[in-house]
Amino acid sequence: MPSERPIRHPVTAEDLGLCCENARTAILEVPDDAWDSYPSNSEWDRRKILRHVTWAILGYASLLATKEDYGPIDFLLLESRRDPAIYTANRLSISVELLIAVTRGNEPTSRAWHPHGTGDAEGFLALACSEISMHLYDVMVDLPDGFRIPDDVASKIVKRLYPWSPTDTEPWETLKWATGRAELAGKEPAGGDWRAFLSPLEEWDGQIWKRPPGYRLPDIGHPPLFQD
């Protein structure tokens, strides 16, 4: 059985809005000639990373809006590699606002399928916060300004999605550790098979969630190639 959990504050729409605003600021700081290059910790170029984030969050909104039992909803969002950064930032903002609207229009207990579990509204908000924060970290990892979110928001995300994480470490570093992007002293690296717990925490069995061997996430956040 899981040990007694520390008191936590829920992840809110306001937290997601803050993550998005921080992301917009970072996006507009990326040099024009850096968008088609690859960060040192990623197999995707920066433009593809941001495209993935936007589509993933639109996918969360579609799943929760329809209360799907399995699989994302298809929709079309045309993009060009010639688009200026403000277009990328705006697309992210639109996806975030749609998810916020859906969560506010649903009962807190509404559930929808996702590879990480049958999530509730808070779970999808937390997952979107994690998606933005970690992928913006990827985008900015080799650039001078870097990226991070406030520790209080990082702590909320960790406690909601990765409840097996240590509670006596810096929240931002702990979030990176839980998503396979950093090491913590005395802790086994999360590696590439890390997995969030999206279902309500009352259903957590106290185990560290990992992706099964050979498991591959469905293409929720992987749209077709750019139109050009």
Q: Which of 178, 114, 171 is nearest to 148 (CA)?
A: 171
Give residue-wise pLDDT tens across range 84-123: 899 889 889 999 999 999 999 888 888 998 888 899 999 9
pLDDT band per the 50, 70, 90 thresholds, residue 211? confident
Provide the whole-model pTM. 0.87
Q: How far apart are CA 76 and CA 74, in angstroms?
A: 7
What are residue 207's phi and psi, to 5 degrees? Answer: -95, 155
Tokens 């992928």 label which residue? Answer: 135
Domains observed in the chain: 13-203 (1.20.120.450)
Please report the pLDDT score of residue 91 as a whole number: 87
Give residue-wise pLDDT tens across range 128-171: 999 999 999 999 999 999 999 999 999 999 999 999 999 999 99
Tokens representing residue 179 in the block: 């998503």
- pLDDT higher than 70, residue 65: yes
Q: How far apart are CA 224 and CA 2, in angstroms?
A: 41
